[in-house]
Every structure is written in structure tokens, then in C-alpha cells.
Structure 1
Amino acid sequence: MELDSQATRRPLRAVKITATLVAILLILFSVPWWTLVMSGTDWPTPVTALGTAAFALPLVTLPVMLVLSHGRRHLDWAGLVGDSILGGIWVLFAWSVIGNLVRFALGLAGVDDPARSRWVAGAVIIVSAVLVIWGNREAMRVPRIKYVDVTIPRLGKGFDGTRVVAVTDTHFGPINRTKWSEGVAAAINELRPDIVAHVGDIADGTVEQRRGQAAPLATIRAELASVYVTGNHEYPREAQGWLDYMDSIGWEPLHNKHIVVERGGDSLVIAGVDDATAKSSKMAGHGANFEMALAGTDPDLPVLMLAHQPKQVFQSEAAGVDLQIAGHTHGGQIWPFNFLVRLDQPTVHGLSRHGERTQLYTSRGSGFWGPPLRIFAPSEITVLTLHST
């Protein structure tokens, strides 16, 4: 009877997920369609028909492209098309909502249709187009360097001034960003890091698919350690492959483990745990385990923890970690998505304190996921300079 119940729940769950996705797509497309084509614009019939078709075609195309890119075939060209549509419609949706608020205000000011709605439609199109062009340039550029000072009271004097360079969320994927990756590696090496950390989401795909884009990571040098942890995009299948690859090019994979580095007679524990989604992936031997990561460490030593998601800070706090470095949020990547990210994570970007000891630095990430856009959420390579007092 239990097996029959499970068999019944599976198709029901699939129906619910499908219905939810369809509803989201309809909302994303219908709001800008109404704002630009219908509302009170009173366009000529050919313009209305053409505008409707311009929304209907990508509405049908988007789910097809997502299936082709994320299904068995993993077609990169389909992923690029689907991601571009998704990014464009999100920008149009957001600014159409704002446009409708402006349209309402203009109505109160006595501006009548169709002029009012046509002005709003034109403004939404212009603003969205400018933001998409600018956002693509921001996404494809080598990240800016962001400098952050972090005081860790338990840090030994020998580590005062230590520079930890964090790169995260590179998301090597359908767009060949080998030159971008080379630029990132060169920028990091120019910083002469003491410690360099890749905090997960290295790629969307297998090592075989993304080896060329990831290869420049092998050229990065750090005086004390180069360390890496998995993000959610390494799961559910590719995590071990990326752990092995990073190990093969000279990085230390912190797969629920730690290392101890020394400088000036003092010691620092650098630990790392799997992503928060690792356990649910059902991959044998994977799952964030703070106890395992810190097993055998001297409790008096300061701990630098790499954990991909900011919400893992609550476990870091319980484990007595001094500083956690996280990524995952992309700073929202495309405004105003940052407000939705905040519903799932304790921070979206920046340095924050949790409890008496633990601090968290959340990076906006160095690359991008999905749509090749970054709007009001600039990418970064972070230099965290550690201070003892």
C-alpha cells in the first residue's frame, strides 16, 4: 500500500511543479505584453498582432530550450537561447511593473490615454534595452576587485595583514569564457594572494565539457594555500569530478576537511564543507559535515570556513568559526531579484556578524548563472585582508 501511495504522489508532484512553472511563465510574459501591447495604448491592429506574436513566440520557445539544454542532450546553444530569453523577459517584467505604477501616477496627474500608455510603453522598452546591453557588458567583463578588511580577534599576529582572495560562482557554461577565465586568473595573480579560495559553483556541466574554461585556474598561485569547495551547481552528479579535477591542477579540495597553515609562528585553520544541497543529492560520501571538517583541530585556533551558501553560517556559528566565506547569491544578479534571494538567505552580499564570534562575507560572485546579465549587482574578485586587532 505504501508503494502504491508513493507511485500516486509522484505524478501529482510532477503536475504541481509543471502547473507552477506554467503559471510563472504566464505571469512573466503577460505583464509586459499587457503593458507594451494592450493596456490603453490603442495601437493599430497590425502593431498589436505583431507585438502579441513577439511575446507568444519566446513564451513557447523558452520551455523547449530549457528542456533541450538541461535534459539528456545538454545542448549548449539551446541553453544560450533559453537563458537569453529568460533574462530579457525578467527585465521587461520588472520594468513593466514599475511602468504601470508610473502610468497610474500619470493618470492621477490628468494625462489621458493613449498618450499616457504609449509614453510608458516606450520608456519601458528603452530602459529595458539599455539595461540588457549594459548588463551583458557587466556580466562578460573581468570582475572588479573589491577590498574588505576583516578583524578577527583570535588571529595570531603572524597572520596580521594576510590577504585572502576569494573567487566564486564562475559558472563556466554554454558561453565559451576561456579568455574571461584567463583574465580572472591574471587578475588574481597580480594581487599576490596569501590564500586563494574558490567557494563553489565552478561550472554548469562536466569536467569534460568545461575543462577548457576551467584550465586557467591551474595558473593561479598563492603563498600559503589554494582551496576549493563545492557549490550547489556541482550537484547532483558532477561534484566528485570537479573535486578530483581541482586536486589535479594543484588546488586543495576541502571536502568536509581542513588544513592548517602557519606564518610567523602562528597557525590558522582553513576548513571547508560541501554545499547545503549535497546531502539531498544522494551522492555517496557527500553532505555538509562541519564536525568532520573540523575534527582534530585545536579549539583555540582561528577558523576560516568555506561554505558556498550564506545560510550555512548558522552551522558555522554553532561550530565556533571565526570567518565564513560564501557566494551563491550573485548579489541578486539581475535587479530586483535580490529581494527574492533575501527570502532564502540571511544576507545577499557583504560582511555581516552572526553571534559573538562568527563573521560572514558573502560575495556577489565572479561569473553569472543563466542569463548573461548583471544589473545593479556587479561581479567581484574579493580581497579579504585579515587583521588581528
Structure 2
Amino acid sequence: MVVRRSTILITALFSFSLIFHGYIGFRLIPDLSAVPVITFLAAATLLSAALLVPLALIRTQAPDSNLNRTLVWSGFIAMGWVSTLFVATLLRDLFLLLLLLVTWVANPLWISPQLPLWSAWLVITGSALVTLIGLANVLSGPTLQKVDVAIENLPPALHGFRIVQITDIHVGPTIKKTFLQKVVQIVNLQQADVVAITGDLVDGRVQHLGDEVTPLQQLKSAYGTYFVTGNHEYYSNANQWIEHLRALGIRILLNEHVVLVKDDAKLVLAGITDYSAHQFDENQRSNPHAALLNAPPDAGARILLAHQPRSIFQALDAGYHLQLSGHTHGGQFWPWNLFVPLQQPFTAGLHWHQSMWIYTSRGTGYWGPPKRFAAPAEITLIRLIEK
């Protein structure tokens, strides 16, 4: 039965990929050129992508080898290219349809008969260029983003308190220990008071990726490293990851808080489970109010770690000064950045919302295709200052 289900799933995956890529080829290749070699190369490239993408998804859990790494990287790069190419092809079709309607109504003479050829080449080369730039951005690694957050009546002892936030690393098919080691090196150079990991650390189970996250043991800060779950942890058995990260010396905040004392000032650092956690485990339903239970009322700052920005609607009246979130990747690359606002109130950066601040990181790694375009990865140094 298991073998039969796997066969059906694999067949469906390859079939969908062939149909998906077939639409792109059907709409673009006839307009590219009458030269047979160009037609052949375009068709061969799309067919290769149609086979590589599902193959890469299937091979993500296979034993590590040079061949497997090549297949996975090639497939995920192709996925990034084709995802942009597909949307660009749809937009081209809409544009050509609009021109067809204009021609039918007004019969304008200014529309060039070469437009289908030019637009097809523009779609293909533009999508490839965006993908190459996005890959180069990923390979260059995350940049350090410095942000000052002004807190009213912040005690002098907490002025300049430094929180380094990393989030949405997505250790998995193409992000491994080497990437995480570089992140840890950058974080440690910041001499943080606190390191905050705001979810989506992994894409896979402990038995496959447990060793890949061991560099987190090397994180250094005055008051320790704190972690809250993201939605991707729940796709990969969150409870196992919670125990594994605890064994690495990381404090997990599950709708709870810690009180950090610097000189005579108190800072409450609270953390909640992912906004969608109750869909996987009702006992881990996200609760910003419970996270502040019995917190000292005289704390000079109350900081909330919450993976998804939309948790702010539950956190608003709990009395937080600042929420640190991730999840959105800043959109990661076009056109998906256009859809993030449909689900999340904030896509990236620092915003004031009614009575509290929220900072949404664009993420430290990436999900799926190794591609970031107009949404660079970041490690965030947040500094509290007096308002």
C-alpha cells in the first residue's frame, strides 16, 4: 500500500510538472524563431526543467553525495527560474490578448508583427536574469541590518540593549551546516545581549538534519539564545526539534517569558508558539497573553518573539513594546512578494502599530529555490534606545 501511494504521488508530481512546463513551451517556443536549433534548445531546456524539479523534490531525503547535491541544486534553481517564467508568460499572454482586442477594435498600424518574438525573448531572458541575480544574492549570504527601536521610558541600564535576530534559515535541501556556521560567525561578532531565533529554522526531521544545526551551540551572547517555533517546525515534528534544540543549550519559549536583569533594570523577553501551532497540537496554541503571565509590572521593556507578524493582533492589548517576527521572507522574489500582504499585515522592516512596534525580518536563509530578488536576506541587530 505504501509503495502504491508513493508511485501514485511520484507519477502525479511528474505529470503536473510536465503539464506546467508544457504550457510555458506551448506559449513561448512557437514565437521564438523559425530556426530549428533554437526551437530544439528551448524545448530541451524546458523538458530538462520539467524532469529536474520533481526529481529534486524526491531526492531531498536521499543520502548525501555529490550526485545528489547536483540534482537537488539543479532542480531547485530550475524551480526558481520556472516559477518566475510561468508568471511572466501569463502576463505576456494577457498583454498580447489586450493588444489583440485593441487591434480588432481600432486596427492600429503601430503594433509590430515582431512583437510576439520580442516579448517571448524578453520573458525568457528576463526570467533567467532575475534568477541568476537571485542566486548570486543567496550565495553572497545574509547582510547585517541595524535597527534602533525607541522605547518610551526605557531605563538607562537598557539603553543600547542589543538583540540579534535570525529567522527563517530553513536548514534543509540546499542549506546545510556550512551556511549556518557563517551565520553564527556574523552573529557572534555583534556582542549581543540576546540572540533570538524566530522560527522556521528547519525543513526536515531531526534524524535527517539534527547534525546540520549543531553550529547553533557556538552562539554567544550575554543572556543566551532563545527560540520560538515557526510553522515549518510543525511540518517536521516540532516536539522532537524542541528537545533537540534544548540539548544544544537553546532556551525554547512556548507561550512563556524570562526576566533579564541588567544592573537595576528588568527586561521581559516573551515568546509564543507559531500562529498556526494549534492546527498541529492544541496544547501549543499561540497565546501572547499567557506568555506574560506573572511578568513583573515594572519591567522597562517587554519584547515578544513571534514567528508570524499577524500575531500582533493578539498581542496588542497585552502590553508589549516590541514584537520581533519573520515568516514573510520579505517576499523573497517576484512575483511572490505581491501576495504576502494578503496574509500578513507587515512584509518587512520596522513599523509602529497602534501602541507597539513590530519588526519583520526578511529572513536569514530562504525557502525552496535558492533565489532572492529585491528582498535580501538579513541578520538583524536591534538596539533599544530611549524615546
Same fold, TM-score > 0.5, yes or no: yes
Residue of structure 1 in register with 2:357 after alignment: 359
Give the superposition deviation at 1:74: 9.5
Residue of structure 2 in register with 1:384 after alignment: 382
Residue of structure 1 in register with 2:28 after alignment: 36
Distance in 1 separating the partners of 2:246 and 2:374: 35
Alignment equivalent of 1:85, drawn from 44, 57, 78: 78
* TM superposition score normalised by structure 1: 0.83
Q: 1:48-91 CA deviation, whole Å, 9 max, x = no partner?
A: 46644543554466456545658xx7997675555333211112
The answer to which of 178-187 and 122-131 deviates more is 122-131
Give the superposition deviation at 1:331: 0.5
Give the superposition deviation at 1:140: 2.7
Look up the equivalent residue of 1:239 and give its one-letter code: A
The answer to which of 97-106 and 176-185 deviates more is 97-106
- 1:278 and 1:288 in contact (8 A); partners too: yes
Distance in 2 separating the partners of 1:373 and 1:60: 20
The answer to which of 297-306 and 77-86 deviates more is 77-86
Shift in alpha-carbon separation, 1:23–1:60, aligned structure 2, 3 A: closer
The answer to which of 246-255 and 143-152 deviates more is 246-255
Q: 1:177-211 CA deviation, whole Å, 9 max, x = no partner?
A: 32221111111111111111010111111233223
Give the superposition deviation at 1:278: 1.2
SS of 1:262's partner is strand
Shift in alpha-carbon separation, 1:330–1:74, aligned structure 2, 3 A: farther
Give the superposition deviation at 1:122: 2.4
Distance in 2 separating the partners of 1:88 and 1:41: 18
Distance in 2 separating the partners of 1:246 and 1:69: 22
Shift in alpha-carbon separation, 1:61–1:177, aligned structure 2, 3 A: closer
Look up the equivalent residue of 1:43 and give its one-letter code: A
- 1:274 and 1:286 in contact (8 A); partners too: yes
Look up the equivalent residue of 2:129 and give its one-letter code: V
- 1:316 and 1:358 in contact (8 A); partners too: no
Does residue 308 (structure 1) correspond to residue 300 (structure 2)? The answer is no
- 1:157 and 1:264 in contact (8 A); partners too: no
* TM superposition score normalised by structure 2: 0.83
Shift in alpha-carbon separation, 1:25–1:157, aligned structure 2, 3 A: farther
Residue of structure 2 in register with 1:13 after alignment: none
Distance in 1 separating the partners of 2:151 and 2:22: 51
Residue of structure 1 in register with 2:8 after alignment: none
Give the superposition deviation at 1:299: 3.4
SS of 1:290's partner is coil
Give the superposition deviation at 1:155: 2.7
Does residue 320 (structure 1) correspond to residue 312 (structure 2)? The answer is no
Look up the equivalent residue of 1:204 and give its one-letter code: D
Residue of structure 2 in register with 1:3 after alignment: none
SS of 1:37's partner is helix
Shift in alpha-carbon separation, 1:299–1:166, aligned structure 2, 3 A: same
Give the superposition deviation at 1:166: 0.4
- 1:31 and 1:96 in contact (8 A); partners too: no
Distance in 1 separating the partners of 2:20 and 2:172: 25
SS of 1:345's partner is coil
- 2:203 and 2:236 in contact (8 A); partners too: no
Distance in 2 separating the partners of 1:299 and 1:380: 33
Shift in alpha-carbon separation, 1:326–1:281, aligned structure 2, 3 A: same
How do 1:204-215 and structure 2 match up within 5 A? 204-215=203-214
Identity of aligned residues (%): 33
Give the superposition deviation at 1:98: 5.4
Residue of structure 2 in register with 1:55 after alignment: 46
Give the superposition deviation at 1:290: 2.1
- 1:144 and 1:379 in contact (8 A); partners too: yes
Residue of structure 1 in register with 2:7 after alignment: none
Residue of structure 2 in register with 1:10 after alignment: none
- 2:169 and 2:366 in contact (8 A); partners too: yes
- 2:32 and 2:39 in contact (8 A); partners too: no
State the Cα RMSD in Å: 3.2
SS of 2:365's partner is coil
Residue of structure 2 in register with 1:183 after alignment: 182
The answer to which of 367-376 and 232-241 deviates more is 232-241
Shift in alpha-carbon separation, 1:151–1:338, aligned structure 2, 3 A: same
Q: 1:152-173 CA deviation, whole Å, 9 max, x = no partner?
A: 1143221011111100011111
- 2:184 and 2:215 in contact (8 A); partners too: yes
Unaligned runs of 5+ in 1: 1-17
- 2:289 and 2:315 in contact (8 A); partners too: no
Distance in 2 separating the partners of 1:169 and 1:280: 20
Does residue 289 (structure 1) correspond to residue 291 (structure 2)? The answer is no
Look up the equivalent residue of 2:79 and give its one-letter code: L
Unaligned runs of 5+ in 2: 1-10
How do 1:219-258 and structure 2 match up within 5 A? 219-258=218-257
Report how many aligned residue pairs link the two structures.
Answer: 367
Shift in alpha-carbon separation, 1:27–1:214, aligned structure 2, 3 A: same
- 1:58 and 1:85 in contact (8 A); partners too: yes
Distance in 1 separating the partners of 2:109 and 2:317: 56
Distance in 1 separating the partners of 2:366 and 2:110: 43
Give the superposition deviation at 1:125: 2.5
Look up the equivalent residue of 1:87 and give its one-letter code: G
The answer to which of 311-320 and 96-105 deviates more is 96-105
Distance in 2 separating the partners of 1:325 and 1:205: 24
Alignment equivalent of 1:96, drawn from 69, 76, 89: 89
Does residue 217 (structure 1) correspond to residue 208 (structure 2)? The answer is no
